[in-house]
Each structure stands twice: as C-alpha cells, then as structure tokens.
Structure 1
Amino acid sequence: MIFGACFINKKIWLIFLICGFLIVYFGLRAINPSCMALANPENDTKVTYHTLLINNNEEITYSATVGFIPIIDQKNQTEQARIFYIAYNRQGIENLEKRAVTFAFNGGPGAASMMLHLGALGPRVVEKSADGTRLIAPPFRLVDNPNTLIDITDLVFIDPVGTGYSRVTDGTDPTQFWGVNEDIHCVAQFIQLYLNKNGRSTSPVFIAGESYGGVRGAGLAKVLQDIGVYPSGLIFISPVFDLGTIQWSSLDDRALALTIPTYAAAAWYHKKIDPDYQGDLDLVLREVRAWVEDHYLKALWKGSAMNEEERDKIVEKLSQYTGIAEDFIREKNLRVYEDDFASELLNNAGLALGIYDIRVTFPGDYTDEDDPSYFLIGGPFKSCMANYLKDDLQFESNLSYLSGSAEVYEKWNWESGRPASKYEGTVSLGYPDISDQLSKSMHRSDFLKVFIASGIYDLECPYDSVLYSVNHLDLPAERRDNITHRVYMGGHMLYTNPEAHAQLKKDLHEFYKDILGE
C-alpha cells in the first residue's frame, strides 16, 4: 500500500512538472521579440524585412540584421569583446557566391559607422538640404536613399570596439583593441567570422572606409589576405593613408603645402580669390599645384635664407590664391595653418569656415569644438540613429550608442602604425603610414581594385594629401591602373551634398560592375 501510494504521488508530481514546463515554454514563446531584444541585446540577433524603390521605381526587398559577433582570444579561446553590426541583404538572390558583401566603417579613430550608414550607403539616409550646407530644423527624419548600394551589394556596417554598442567583456582591457594594427586585426577577425557564420566565405568581398577608415581599410586588405580572405575591391571616401600628409596630425611643411590647393578652392567658392582666378576652378587648381611645387615648397625649404624680394613674391602669390591678407601671411612666416585660415578668410564678415566642409560658415572664430560643418550633421544623425534602431530595426539596448568616443581617440596606440625601422636596433619615429601595406596587398593580387573619392572642399583630409600618398605607392605601372581617384564638389562627408552623392553612386556602380562583370 505504501509503495502504491508513493507511485501515485510520483505520477501526480510528474504531471505537475510536465504542465509547468509547457506553461513556461509557451509563455516564453508568446513574449514579444522586441522585449527580448531589450532584455538581453548582447545575445540577440534581430532581423526585420523592408522594401525600397530605387532606379526608376525598381522595388527591392531586403533584410536588416542587427547583431553582435564575439571576438575570441586565440590563445585561450575566451571571449574578449562583442562587435555590433547592422547588415543589409537583398532578398531573392539565388547565387550568393556571386553576390558581393561590402564591409563599411568610418574612422576617427573612435567613430561608429553611423555617417557612412545613414549618410551615404545604407537604404535610409538623413534628410539633407539642397546642397548640404544648411542645417534643417527639427524634426529630423530619415528618407529612402536613392543612392544606396543595396541594389549592387549586401552591406555590413561595423562599429569597432568602444563605438556604437561594441564593448569588451568584463575584465578585458579595451586598449588592446585601440591602436593602428590592433584595430586592423580585430576588424579582420570580425569579417572572417561574419563570412563563415553567414555562409558567405566564397562571396566577393569589398571594404569601404571613410577618413581614418583609409588607414584601417588599407591595412585590412593585407591582413585579410594573410588569413585567407581576398578582397576584390577597396573603397575609400575622404581617406588618409599617411598621417604625415595631413595637418590634424602633422604640422610639417609637407602637410601644409598639400593643403594650399584646398585653401584656393575655399577662396574661389567664397569669391575671395584674386579676381584674375575666379574663372574655371580646375584650371585655377592646376596652376596653384604647379606653383606650390615649383615655388612655395622651395621657399619653405630655404627658410630665412630667402631674400626679401623672394619672400615678397611668395607672399603676394599666396595671398592672391588663398584670399588671405599679405600682412597676415608675413606674420605667420608663410605658414597659415588650417584653423587660422578657417578663422581669417571671412573674418571681415564675422564668419568662420568649417574644416570638414569649407562651404559651410558659422558666426565667430573657428574652434574645433564648434566646427560648423560637423555641427551641421552631428545632431540630426545621432537623433535619427536612435529612432531608426528602435522603430525600424526594432532593436533596443540599455547601453548608450556611442557615435563617437573621445576615450578611444585619446588612448589610441599610434606607434603600432609607424613604418618598420630600416636598420636593426633602431626605432622609427615617423608618422603612422599604412601605404606599404596597401602596396603589398595590390602587389599580391592583380584583381584587387581601389576606388578613392575625395571632396574638393575637404580640409580634414585634402585631395592633394591623398593624391600624394597614391603617387608614392610602391607599385608597378600595371597595378596603378587598378586605382581610380574621383573628385566631388563636397567636403569631407562629400555625400552630404546631394549632387555629389548621386555622382558617387554612379561611379561606384561602374566600379562594382567592372570588378564583378555584371
């Protein structure tokens, strides 16, 4: 009897356990997926589906995937960080082996991929003014992007560690990812893991980087080849490869000289250039570049060895080209740096220029904190990104989305990007320069092609600085034919000018078509 009673009780308890399990199971199944994303975003991949009309009302259906990929320490196989990404995949593609995947990121270092994502390449973009030089009043909104690349390629926007929602795990030192080479190897691991995880290891791979993304992208080309991923194309928008060629990292004469043509473009745009040069901008800039090479650089080289007549000629011509008063140029010893130029050109009107886009003006003197061309886009992009994640992509997190991180920039290890010492036992104290890695990757692969887009009104990474780096790549003539360099009527974020943005899409379409043969 005791045995029978126990057996009956066990059956009752078993029934209760089964029922309890079913209640919990179906209860969890009924939970709203968006609430699950909020509860534990670091372990959730969120997929939504959307449609878009582009190319004369061609309807494109695509998925948007929001997720994380863990970065693993290869020595002890422990997770060290989780990189946040947003990926777009066109639906209805039968052969994914022929469908390109483009990995895109901004620069900084310490910047998330928000600008390229919501400004240039993604299916939705922040609404712009007619020429991109005016701040539209709130409410800020996203609109369908007629110039998106989703019709040509799938897109993956990467937020490096310390930006976006990408974070290290507890107990991991984030600075191990914050350096020139450290960052390149981390992003390379992300790309390889993404390709493997999503069955895209044999798809054509493209890399797209903006600004400091030029350093990251050029380094990635070689490192990816080292681990068995061979990119087909590299896209650089307003890039830097050698930090010795731009003023925000270098104050030497080379960086200054390479900026003078952009000063002339600014003076031309604001009608401050000498009236004799207010004609065709291309012709003016050719003359300015020739003068910089033949006269200005030699004058800087000679320094105090110049006689007064030589100095007067340099001052006069520099003033004519740049619109800056001769007395100011003499006071600065022929060296007018970009912040002085931005404050001085329109000083009589009480205006300062933007470094990121010299078409944009702002009352008062120039300060980096209040750069008018960055202020123009900072707030609208951040506001739209927050709403886009929540409303369109149905993703929420208790973390803050870091569109930019001063901590990452301030703690960046620049030394790891310096060229190797030529002699054993010596130390290279030069500027970080990734040009040799770009040359190496192009030497290795005859099918690797490079597209570079520069804004003629960009003082952050001037066109001539990029051209200088390209002209000094160690490449044979046949490999140089694989490089395309286009100039657009815009600033650093050249795509904020709708006209430049539309032309960029046309040029990139031809670039992909040339590589993919479609």
Structure 2
Amino acid sequence: MKNYTVFLSLLFLAQAIFSQQAKEKEPMKPIPEAKSFVTDHQGVFGGKPIAYKATAKETYLTNEKGDTVASFWSVAYTQNAVKNSAKRPVTFVFNGGPGSASVWLHMGLFGPKLVAVDSNAQQDDGAAPYILKNNENGLLDLTDLVFIDPVGTGYSRVVGKGKEKDFWGLKEDARSVTQFIRKWITVNKRWMSPKYLAGESFGTTRAAAVAKELEGNGQNMSLNGLILISQALDYAGSTSDHHNITSYLTYLPSMAATAWYHKKAGQGKSLEQFVQEAREFTYDTYATALYKGDLLPTTARETIANKLVYFTGLDKPYILKSNLRILMPRFQKRLLYEEGLTIGRLDGRFMGEESDLVADRPTLGDPASYQIGAAYTAALNHFYASVLNVTMDRPYRTSNGKIGQKWRWRTVPDGSYWEPTPVNTAGDLGEAMRRNTDLKVLVASGYYDLITPFFDAEYTFSRNGIVSDRVAMTYYEGGHMMYTHQPDLEKLSKDIRTFLSQN
C-alpha cells in the first residue's frame, strides 16, 4: 500500500509538471507582415498652410532575446520639406484606461480632423452621420505628432512569443511604450529633435513612468516636456473609496464647481471665487474634521455639515447620514435627484435619465461617455478608411475592458516583498525633473472633471519632489475631456502652443 501511495504521488506530480509545461509551450502567435499606409495631405495650422505626410503603420517590438513579441499601431503626422527636420519637435500622444486607444486625443484635440459633439453637453451624439471638421487649432506647424495605441488597444496586439501579461501592467506598459518611442526616434533619425509626451488620464500615469524609463537602459533619452491632460499620478486623490480620506478632500472642490454649474450652490459668485472658497475650507477645516472622525464634537459636526450643504447643494440630513463623507458616485445621483437626472463622472456638465431613480450610484454608466462614444468611434474608423486609406483584417478597439481586469499594478518583481499602496508615479516625474533640468510640465485640469479632480492635481504637484517652478497649471470650464467644450478646445490648444513655443 505504501508503494502504491508513492506511485500515485509521483503520477500526480508528473501530471502537474506536464500540465505546466503544456501551458508554457503555448502555440506561437503568427507574425504577419507589418502593415503600413502612407498618404500625403495639406492643411492650415497656426494660420500657416502645411504639407504633411500621414504614416499609419504597425511597428514590431522584441524581447531581450530578440524575439518579436508585439505589434504597436501608430499614426504619425510629419511635416514635409522641413529644413533641418532632424531637429523638428515631435510629440508622442496616447490616452489612458488602462485599456484605451488614442482615439480621444486623436479625434478630439490633436489630430488634423476632429469630430463635432455638443459643446454644451446638452445633447447626445445620436446616430450617424457625424460631422468631421478641420482642426483649426492644430499644432502641426510647431510639432510632428505620433499617436500610439498600446498592446490590446486600437490595432495593437501580441504576436510571436508575446504574452499579454508582458504588456498589461504599470511597469510592463511603460517599458513597451519606451521601446516603441526609442525605435521610432531611431528609425526616423530624430534623436536631436525636442521630444514631448502628451497623455490623458492614465496616459499621464504612463507619461511620468515613461519619462523615467527613457532615462535608463543605456539609451538615455531626456524629454523636453510633458503635457498632462486630466492628470492621474497619485491615485490616492482620484479613487473615491469609503476608507480613503484623501479622496474626500481632493474631490470636494470639484463637487462645489459642479454644483455651481447646475445652480445648486455658489450662486451670485464667480466659479473661480467659489472654487477658491472650497479650496480654503478643504485645507483649513475639512481635513482636520475628517481626520478627527468620531472624535469630532457634535457642534463641530453640525458646522461642517452646514458648510458641505453650502458647497455641494446636497441636503443636510443626507450629509449627516453620510457621516460628512460624500462618495462621488452618490454625488452623481444625488445632485439632481429632484429632477430625476444623473450627472456625468468624466464631465459633471452631462446629464442622463435612468430608470432606477433611488440607486446610490449611476446604473447606465457615465453620460459623459456614452453620449459621445459612438461619434468618436465612427469618426476614427471613417477617417482611417476614407482619408488615411487604412485597410486592416481586424476591428480597431477604442477600448478594451479585458485589459483593466487583468492589469498588474505591482511595482516589484514576483517573489519580492510588496505591500500594496495606491498607484503613484508622481515620484518618477519628480526624479526625472531633477535629473533633467530642461524637463517642463503642462498640467491641464477641468473644473467639472469628477474622476481626476483639479484639486488633486494641485495636491499632487505640491509634493512628490516635483520642481514646481517648471510646472504650468491651467484650468478649463469642462471635464475630463475638456476639449469637447469648444471654448476649452481653443484655450487648451493655445496653452499647449504657448508651452511648446517656450520650450
């Protein structure tokens, strides 16, 4: 019997080893020939007629052994017939997620053609056809532009011996984007060009990590500037969670701004005046109260509740029952509760009607997303097919929820001790700025952004070793994608133009 037990144990061990080997020997994904589509165009940018080339293509990345592991999709717009083109600025552009393609910045802000959506956030984008317009505020007179879609978004994918896990993680993502940038710069002979990164949301998390990553591995590449749109460097300030005190502080001024917009608070004062009051209350009074918790005296609790009514427009009994802590999803449902409307998260100006009026959070998703998503998707696909002559054998993925589900936030190798903390790449940016004294940063924040609040940008950039005198903070009366608001599109484009011209 003893020998039989040993035999079974060895059999099970052999089966386990065989099973593991089978998993490790997954069939190699095919490596088809890389596609490339090159077209010539004319446009007016900065008041100047510009002839430019669009190069939409796949670029293969390799691992340390030289094996091809991924195909990165990019679209580059480069000006033709430029004297000393090797020194012309180039800006690499990507969105966030993780799991979002560059469609939003491509068709909303930086691209030569933009899709039109309702500037005042009052109307849904509806169904096709949609309007494509020339980007009169484009920047091609100042910089070439390269739009990047990380693996799993757009047309980008793993190939050959590549595995999704090699790209779907904070560190893994930064390494792959860095490899693409170095390869693009080398192939196009642009090592002497001023170089910029422009990211939105998680794209700003990525930008800070990439800025640090570019300065290592024996191929030191120093950047001239970062354009951070709706920054998300320290997630303690952009994660609305019951036990995260920091987020109650960073979100409150955005709640105040949004309540002001919907005429629920701050009437008779300018937006800037009301927001400044919210800043001062948050730092000077609210922070102390939250950290006291149940030690806060009853009279002080009543005083704080009254001030929160003043800033948020919510009723006092609700605030007291919330223990002076308003989660952002609840604010979205509660602000226009009497009107039966839910406000947007990406942009508090947007409103949606939901059938479940008493839910504690939105049930249809984000009105600021679903009311413009179809227009952006259709515009990008139409533009690729009809203007850039792109023909691919698979659909373009504007977003990929699977990436977020599998994303690896761990910042140290497996087997190393790691105590999870909120994601924070602000320190990476601080280090990069101190090593590279030419690196400057533009931070663009929307007052009605209820996912990456403007006050969080101020909170984050006042610490983490960031060199404040090389940071320009700009503000807009829109949300996360402030460029959907036409006045903000014009102002943001002008601010970026100034930033590029001064660097």
Give the TM-score normalised by the residue count of structure 1.
Answer: 0.86
- Are 1:457 and 2:445 matched, yes or no? no
Q: Is the contact between residue 244 and residue 250 of structure 1 (CA under 8 Å) also seen in structure 2?
A: no
Give the alignment partner of residue 209 of structure 2, picking from 199, 219, 227.
219
Aligned-pair distance for 1:41?
A: 8.1
SS at 1:508's partner residue? helix
Give the partner amino acid of 1:86.
V
Instruction: Return the alpha-carbon distance in structure 1 between the equivalents of residues 386 and 448 of structure 2.
Output: 35
Aligned-pair distance for 1:480?
A: 2.1
In the alignment, what sits opposite 2:6?
A: none
Instruction: Return the alpha-carbon distance in structure 2 between the equivalents of residues 97 and 158 of structure 1.
Output: 21
Aligned-pair distance for 1:250?
A: 8.0
Instruction: Return the alpha-carbon distance in structure 1 between the equivalents of residues 393 and 113 of structure 2.
Output: 24
- Are 1:410 and 2:405 matched, yes or no? yes
- Are 1:432 and 2:432 matched, yes or no? no
Give the partner amino acid of 2:172.
E
Q: Is the contact between residue 436 and residue 473 of structure 1 (CA under 8 Å) also seen in structure 2?
A: yes
In the alignment, what sits opposite 2:485?
A: 497
Q: Is the contact between residue 210 and residue 237 of structure 1 (CA under 8 Å) also seen in structure 2?
A: yes
Aligned-pair distance for 1:388?
A: 1.0
Give the partner amino acid of 1:201.
W
Name the structure with the higher helix share: 1
Instruction: Return the alpha-carbon distance in structure 2 between the equivalents of residues 49 and 251 of structure 1.
Output: 54
1:246-395 matches, within 5 Å, as: 246-248=238-240, 251-273=243-265, 275=267, 278-364=268-354, 365=357, 366-367=361-362, 369-395=364-390
SS at 1:466's partner residue? helix
Q: Is the contact between residue 247 and residue 338 of structure 1 (CA under 8 Å) also seen in structure 2?
A: no
Instruction: Return the alpha-carbon distance in structure 2 between the equivalents of residues 84 and 196 of structure 1.
Output: 17
1:115-126 matches, within 5 Å, as: 115-126=104-115
Inter-CA distance 327–263: structure 2 relative to 1 (3 Å threshold)? same
- Are 1:109 and 2:101 matched, yes or no? no
In the alignment, what sits opposite 1:234?
A: 226
Instruction: Return the alpha-carbon distance in structure 1 between the equivalents of residues 364 and 159 of structure 2.
Output: 32
Identity of aligned residues (%): 33
Inter-CA distance 448–457: structure 2 relative to 1 (3 Å threshold)? same
Aligned-pair distance for 1:55?
A: 3.6
SS at 1:43's partner residue? coil
Give the alignment partner of residue 201 of structure 1, picking from 181, 184, 191.
191
Instruction: Return the alpha-carbon distance in structure 2 between the equivalents of residues 249 and 60 of structure 1.
Output: 48
Give the partner amino acid of 2:129.
P
Give the partner amino acid of 1:401.
Y
Instruction: Return the alpha-carbon distance in structure 1 between the equivalents of residues 132 and 164 of structure 2.
Output: 33
Inter-CA distance 78–171: structure 2 relative to 1 (3 Å threshold)? closer
Could you say which structure has the larger radius of gyration?
A: 1
Q: Is the contact between residue 34 and residue 60 of structure 2 (CA under 8 Å) also seen in structure 1?
A: no
In the alignment, what sits opposite 2:472?
A: 484
SS at 2:396's partner residue? coil
SS at 1:414's partner residue? coil
Count of matched residue positions in the alignment of Structure 1 and Structure 2: 465
Aligned-pair distance for 1:462?
A: 0.2
Q: Is the contact between residue 222 and residue 440 of structure 1 (CA under 8 Å) also seen in structure 2?
A: yes
Aligned-pair distance for 1:108?
A: 0.2
Instruction: Return the alpha-carbon distance in structure 1 between the equivalents of residues 365 and 486 of structure 2.
Output: 24
Aligned-pair distance for 1:238?
A: 0.4
Give the alignment partner of residue 457 of structure 2, picking from 466, 478, 483.
466
Instruction: Return the alpha-carbon distance in structure 1 between the equivalents of residues 305 and 412 of structure 2.
Output: 37
Aligned-pair distance for 1:448?
A: 0.8
Instruction: Return the alpha-carbon distance in structure 2 between the equivalents of residues 302 and 206 of structure 1.
Output: 44
SS at 1:194's partner residue? helix
SS at 2:211's partner residue? helix
1:13-28 matches, within 5 Å, as: none
Q: Is the contact between residue 121 and residue 149 of structure 1 (CA under 8 Å) also seen in structure 2?
A: yes
Aligned-pair distance for 1:301?
A: 1.0
Give the partner amino acid of 1:499.
P
Q: Is the contact between residue 319 and residue 326 of structure 1 (CA under 8 Å) also seen in structure 2?
A: yes
Give the partner amino acid of 2:106.
H
CA RMSD in angstroms comes to 2.0
Instruction: Return the alpha-carbon distance in structure 1 between the equivalents of residues 418 and 94 of structure 2.
Output: 31
Q: Is the contact between residue 238 and residue 492 of structure 1 (CA under 8 Å) also seen in structure 2?
A: yes
Instruction: Return the alpha-carbon distance in structure 1 between the equivalents of residues 41 and 337 of structure 2.
Output: 49
Inter-CA distance 42–372: structure 2 relative to 1 (3 Å threshold)? farther
Instruction: Return the alpha-carbon distance in structure 1 between the equivalents of residues 81 and 382 of structure 2.
Output: 28
Aligned-pair distance for 1:262?
A: 0.5
Q: Is the contact between residue 97 and residue 204 of structure 1 (CA under 8 Å) also seen in structure 2?
A: no
Moved more, 400-409 or 139-148: 139-148
Inter-CA distance 267–88: structure 2 relative to 1 (3 Å threshold)? same
Aligned-pair distance for 1:173?
A: 1.6
Q: Is the contact between residue 221 and residue 438 of structure 1 (CA under 8 Å) also seen in structure 2?
A: yes
Q: Is the contact between residue 153 and residue 399 of structure 2 (CA under 8 Å) also seen in structure 1?
A: yes
Aligned-pair distance for 1:128?
A: 2.7
Instruction: Return the alpha-carbon distance in structure 2 between the equivalents of residues 42 and 449 of structure 1.
Output: 39
Inter-CA distance 319–42: structure 2 relative to 1 (3 Å threshold)? farther
In the alignment, what sits opposite 1:153?
A: 143
Q: Is the contact between residue 87 and residue 190 of structure 2 (CA under 8 Å) also seen in structure 1?
A: no
Q: Is the contact between residue 155 and residue 397 of structure 2 (CA under 8 Å) also seen in structure 1?
A: yes
SS at 1:135's partner residue? coil
- Are 1:169 and 2:159 matched, yes or no? yes
Moved more, 110-119 or 40-49: 40-49
Instruction: Return the alpha-carbon distance in structure 2 between the equivalents of residues 325 and 283 of structure 1.
Output: 22
Instruction: Return the alpha-carbon distance in structure 2 between the equivalents of residues 133 and 105 of structure 1.
Output: 28
The gaps in structure 1 that reach 5 residues or longer are 1-39, 419-424
Give the TM-score normalised by the residue count of structure 2.
Answer: 0.89
